[in-house]
């Protein structure tokens, strides 16, 4: 495993991190979740990413992770970087989502209880809140660091401008914005326009989520929708209508370039997001052990020739 410095902080993260959004909830088989987490850790994946609402049902991924921590990983707490988030709907009423101080502090306390932890390593605001003053949300993050319940804080899906503002408020309070968690893959490139530049200037790390576009940038959907895939599950966030002919044509062409590099498409897709120096880690999901092996194997070759990058651009532009 390669460990990369997270922005200009002291913290290093593995180039591949594992997220527990799908396949680690109360509806999933605990032994499968346990096997994937332990396999990832054995391969040097020291960073596990959660959120209050991951499941289903919401909260159950944190409970699963807490059980595995207790049964298998308690002795390794100091070798792990555990993150969680609040921002999406978690409980009824006006205090169960978005970005108020009231919500963020209560949600983190609930997450710590579910995981059986005294602190998380990173706590994120999960999505920008159009109505709460950003200063309230960000000062709650500062308070969370000062309380010792998170060692670092980050933001997710904030625009470039919102990121600059959040970083400035945190800096004025004496706390660093450690990391930004945006969506980024060959099929969703919004961060290239200005967010990466802001992260570079501010010295903020970047961990990109859904680098495989939830499984689209793999061989999985080449011959239809497999019954055990995310797109086939009623609670999966990848919907069948997102698997368009246009995307599958691109996937087939991209696969040829990956093959010529001696990689699977999933591996090339991960290498491609990691080519930016600003990207600290690719945050993957998995439903079986082989997905984790594939992802870790991607690190063997993360450099691209100019011709390869041009060919990829041409395919994506079509």
Ligand X SMILES: NC(=O)c1ccc[n+]([C@@H]2O[C@H](COP(=O)([O-])OP(=O)(O)OC[C@H]3O[C@@H](n4cnc5c(N)ncnc54)[C@H](OP(=O)(O)O)[C@@H]3O)[C@@H](O)[C@H]2O)c1
For ligand X, the binding residues (CB under 6 A) are: 19-23, 49, 126, 156-157, 181, 209-215, 218, 220, 229-230, 266, 283-287, 291, 294
CB of 14 to ligand X, least distance (A): 14
Decide if 124 contacts 155 (C-beta within 8 A).
Answer: yes
CB of 178 to ligand X, least distance (A): 14
CB of 282 to ligand X, least distance (A): 8
Task: Please report the sign of the dihedral spanned by the C-alpha atoms of residue 25, residue 31, residue 32, residue 38.
Answer: positive
Q: With respect to ligand X, which residue has the nearer C-beta, 88 or 306?
A: 88
Q: With respect to ligand X, which residue has the nearer C-beta, 148 or 234?
A: 234
DSSP 148-214: TSEEEEEEES--HHHHHHHHHHHHHHT--EEEEE-B-BTTB-GGGTTHHHHHHHHT-EEEEE-TTGG
Bridge partners for 283 per DSSP = 17, 209
Q: With respect to ligand X, which residue has the nearer C-beta, 10 or 185?
A: 185
CB of 262 to ligand X, least distance (A): 15
Q: Render the burial of 121-155: b for 16+ CB within 10 Å, e for the rest.
A: bbbbbbbbbeebebeebbbbbbbbbeeebbbbbbb
Q: With respect to ligand X, which residue has the nearer C-beta, 132 or 287?
A: 287
CB of 295 to ligand X, least distance (A): 6
CB of 51 to ligand X, least distance (A): 7
Q: With respect to ligand X, which residue has the nearer C-beta, 172 or 228?
A: 228
Q: With respect to ligand X, which residue has the nearer C-beta, 137 or 157?
A: 157
Q: With respect to ligand X, which residue has the nearer C-beta, 126 or 164?
A: 126
CB of 3 to ligand X, least distance (A): 19
DSSP annotation of 69 reads: I
Q: E strands of the chain, at which residues?
A: 3-5, 12-14, 16-19, 47-49, 81-86, 120-125, 150-156, 177-181, 205-209, 279-284
Q: Cβ of 68: how many Cβ atoms within 10 Å? A: 22
Bridge partners for 86 per DSSP = 125
Q: By C-alpha distance, which of 180, 96, 105, 117 is closest to 145?
A: 105
Q: Cβ neighbours of residue 279 under 8 Å, at least 6 residues apart?
A: 184, 196, 206, 207, 208, 273
């Amino acid at each position: 495993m390669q460990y990369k410095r997270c922005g200009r902080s002291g913290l290093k993260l593995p180039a591949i991190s594992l997220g527990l959004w799908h396949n680690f909830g109360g509806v999933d088989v605990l032994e499968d979740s346990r096997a994937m987490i332990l396999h990832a850790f054995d391969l040097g994946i020291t960073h596990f990413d959660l959120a209050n609402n991951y499941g289903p049902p919401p909260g159950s991924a944190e409970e699963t992770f807490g059980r595995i921590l207790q049964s298998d990983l308690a002795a390794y707490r100091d070798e792990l970087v555990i993150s969680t988030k609040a921002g999406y709907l978690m409980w009824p009423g006006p205090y169960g989502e978005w970005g108020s101080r009231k919500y963020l502090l209560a949600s983190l306390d609930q997450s710590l209880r579910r995981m059986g932890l005294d602190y998380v390593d990173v706590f994120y605001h999960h999505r920008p809140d159009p109505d709460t003053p950003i200063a309230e949300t960000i000062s709650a993050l500062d308070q969370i660091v000062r309380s010792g319940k998170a060692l670092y804080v980050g933001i997710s899906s904030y625009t470039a401008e919102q990121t600059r503002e959040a970083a400035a408020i945190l800096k004025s309070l004496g706390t660093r914005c450690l990391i930004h968690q945006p969506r980024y893959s060959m099929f969703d490139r919004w961060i290239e326009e200005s967010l990466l530049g802001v992260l570079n200037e501010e010295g903020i790390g970047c961990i990109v989520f859904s680098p495989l576009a939830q499984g689209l940038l793999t061989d999985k959907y080449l011959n239809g929708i497999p019954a055990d895939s995310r797109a086939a599950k009623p609670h999966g966030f990848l919907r069948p209508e997102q698997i368009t002919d246009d995307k599958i044509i691109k996937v087939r062409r991209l696969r040829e370039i990956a093959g010529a590099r001696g990689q699977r498409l999933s591996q090339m897709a991960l290498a491609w997001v990691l080519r930016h120096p600003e990207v600290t880690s690719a945050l993957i999901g998995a439903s079986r052990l082989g997905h984790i092996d594939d992802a870790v194997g991607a690190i063997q070759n993360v450099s691209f020739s100019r011709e390869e990058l041009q060919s990829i651009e041409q395919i994506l532009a079509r």
